[in-house]
């Protein structure tokens, strides 16, 4: 129950993991899978006809008695259709309504008076305060890392902290959340849960076309970008985060021309180049030239899985991190004794570590990464320099991510993840001057890189070797960045 936050009671779910109300993609099958797995699901019904809303709501209710929501976007919906959508949701007594883009206080009040819980997605503190004043029950703070339509231009780490400090209603975090480490980090920054979008597109139950899912699995860090070229059906100037393709590279001419070129269709419904429609199961056409929505968390998607499996993976990893103390800086901190290297002399096989040796090495790294995560989190709370705060937020998120990877690796070896924190934490926090503490953090990062360099030649498992190599590369890059910051 470490993951059970107050917003779980508000929404009626077991875990604070919320399926984003992605238009076209979040249909009944996906909502049912997420809800039955303990999360909360939004049906993405932007611009959809009333008949489809009725059918989707009915399908959800046929398979689960648990609460769910419907996500609507007034700014992207014609007035007559919007009114019909709202009236239908009220008639059907949909438990929760999600709203995005332009805020309408009268609409929020109308929905509240109808007995609905209203969740507003926002991209700034100003919008958050306006939503709270309008009567919203909860917020979704959407960082610029999010896939699809992005309201603001601020990183989720910064935006979330500012919103949590400004409002009195609960806030969920959205933007790049694809793992338990991401969720644990958001909880540590004050969120009451996380909204997952891109990772749920790449599931068997999502209504996305397989082409879109496969592109997400193949994507790497840096493959997404924010652009306004996909604009048909939305207010002008609205940015979306997508995978780079021929459209974002400018291979189809002026995106704002009045001419319309059809790139796909769904029955008798055409889809045009530069529209905001993404590839769905029910479509045919040139999917490469459509909007392939993806958040920055896409780099952590490596397979198409079941939605329940994905949710439980996130929950297990986040729970392990919380139990290990990575995301709870105010709890008492148990310290590890100095490392013993005697185990490195036993049970070798052709130069590779045996299970016990490998578990010891992974737990030693876990304790070090937990120490780094705690130092970053505590340092954030102590400093007022925005640049240093941003740097510590990035460091904490990275350290939490590697803690999650190491915990998963240990569990896969049927081992017990250590709950201790490396002595580095105590030494670092004894340094009061923040610049000197930052320099000491670099020393810690270098220690981790040396440990990884010594460990990698002894790792036989290919998948683990890839993960540890990625961890090494990330730490080497972090060292370079940190050294530039402190002028070393």
* Environment class of 337 (CB within 10 Å of its CB; exposed 0-12, middle 13-18, buried 19+): exposed
pLDDT, position 337: 39
Q: Which homologous superfamily is 325-486 in?
A: Ferritin, core subunit, four-helix bundle (1.20.1260.10)
Beta strands in 244-382 (DSSP E): 262-266, 269-272, 284-285
Locate the domains of the chain by residue range: 1-305, 325-486
Helix (H, G, I), strand (E, B), or coil: what is residue 240? strand
pLDDT, position 373: 86
Taking only the tens of pLDDT, the chain with its 488 residues reads 678 999 999 999 999 999 999 999 999 999 999 999 999 999 999 999 999 999 999 999 999 999 999 999 999 999 999 999 999 999 999 999 999 998 999 999 999 999 999 999 999 999 999 999 999 999 999 999 999 999 988 888 889 988 998 999 999 999 999 999 889 888 877 899 999 999 999 999 999 999 999 999 999 878 999 999 999 989 888 999 999 999 999 999 999 998 899 999 988 889 999 999 999 999 999 999 999 999 999 988 999 999 999 999 999 988 888 776 655 444 433 444 333 333 333 444 456 899 999 999 999 999 999 899 888 888 877 877 777 887 887 888 788 888 888 887 887 788 888 878 888 989 999 998 888 888 899 999 999 999 999 999 999 888 888 889 989 988 998 888 878 765 54
* Topology at the third CATH level for domain 1-305: TIM Barrel (3.20.20)
Within this chain, domains 1-305 and 325-486 share the same CATH topology: no
pLDDT, position 331: 41
The b-or-e profile of 338-363 (16+ CB within 10 A means b, else e) is eeeeebeeeeeeeeebeeebbbbbbb
pLDDT, position 269: 87
Pairing mode, if any, of strands 194-196 and 262-266? Answer: unpaired
pLDDT, position 163: 92
* Owner of token pair 């800086």: 329
pLDDT, position 417: 82
52 CB neighbour count, 10 Å cutoff: 12
* Owner of token pair 């929020």: 108
DSSP structure class, residue 46: T
């Amino acid at each position: 129950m470490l993951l059970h936050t107050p917003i779980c009671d508000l929404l009626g779910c077991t875990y604070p993991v919320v399926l984003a109300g992605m238009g076209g993609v979040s249909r009944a099958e996906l909502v049912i899978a997420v809800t039955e797995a303990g999360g909360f699901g939004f049906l993405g019904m932007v611009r959809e006809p009333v008949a489809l809303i009725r059918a989707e709501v009915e399908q959800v209710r046929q398979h689960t008695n648990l609460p769910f929501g419907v996500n609507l976007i007034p700014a992207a919906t014609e007035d007559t259709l919007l009114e019909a959508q709202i009236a239908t949701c009220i008639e059907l007594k949909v438990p929760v309504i999600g709203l995005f883009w332009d805020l309408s206080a009268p609409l929020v009040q109308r929905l509240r008076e109808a007995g609905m819980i209203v969740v507003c997605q926002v991209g700034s503190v100003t919008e958050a305060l306006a939503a709270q004043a309008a009567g919203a029950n909860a917020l979704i703070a959407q960082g610029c890392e999010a896939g699809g339509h992005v309201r603001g231009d601020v990183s989720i780490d910064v935006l979330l902290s500012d919103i949590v400090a400004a409002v009195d209603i609960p806030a969920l975090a959205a933007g790049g959340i694809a793992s338990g480490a991401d969720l644990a980090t958001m909880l540590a920054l004050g969120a009451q849960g996380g909204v997952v979008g891109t990772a749920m597109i790449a599931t068997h139950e999502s209504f996305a076309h397989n082409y879109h899912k496969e592109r997400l699995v193949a994507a790497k860090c840096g493959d997404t970008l924010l652009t306004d070229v996909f604009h048909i059906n939305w207010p002008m100037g609205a940015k979306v985060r997508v995978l780079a393709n021929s459209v974002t590279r400018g291979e189809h001419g002026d995106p704002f021309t009045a001419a319309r070129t059809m790139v796909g269709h769904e029955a008798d419904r055409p889809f045009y180049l530069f529209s905001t429609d993404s590839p769905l199961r029910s479509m045919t056409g040139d999917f490469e030239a459509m909007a392939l929505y993806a958040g920055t968390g896409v780099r952590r998607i490596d397979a198409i899985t079941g939605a329940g499996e994905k949710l439980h993976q996130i929950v297990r990893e986040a729970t392990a991190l919380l139990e290990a103390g990575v995301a709870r800086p105010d709890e008492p901190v148990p310290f590890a004794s100095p490392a013993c290297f005697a185990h490195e002399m036993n049970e070798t096989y052709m130069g590779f570590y045996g299970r016990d040796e490998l578990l010891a090495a992974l737990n030693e790294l876990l304790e070090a990464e937990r120490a780094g995560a705690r130092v970053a989190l505590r340092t954030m709370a102590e400093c007022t320099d925005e640049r240093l705060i941003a740097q510590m937020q990035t460091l904490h998120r990275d350290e939490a991510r590697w803690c999650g990877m190491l915990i998963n690796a240990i569990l896969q070896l049927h081992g017990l993840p250590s709950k201790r924190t490396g002595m580095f934490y105590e030494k670092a926090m004894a340094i009061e001057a923040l610049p000197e503490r930052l320099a000491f953090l670099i020393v810690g990062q270098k220690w981790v890189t040396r440990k990884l360099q010594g460990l990698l030649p002894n790792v036989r498992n290919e998948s683990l070797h890839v993960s540890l190599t990625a961890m090494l590369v990330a730490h080497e890059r972090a060292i370079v960045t940190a050294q530039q910051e402190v002028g070393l």
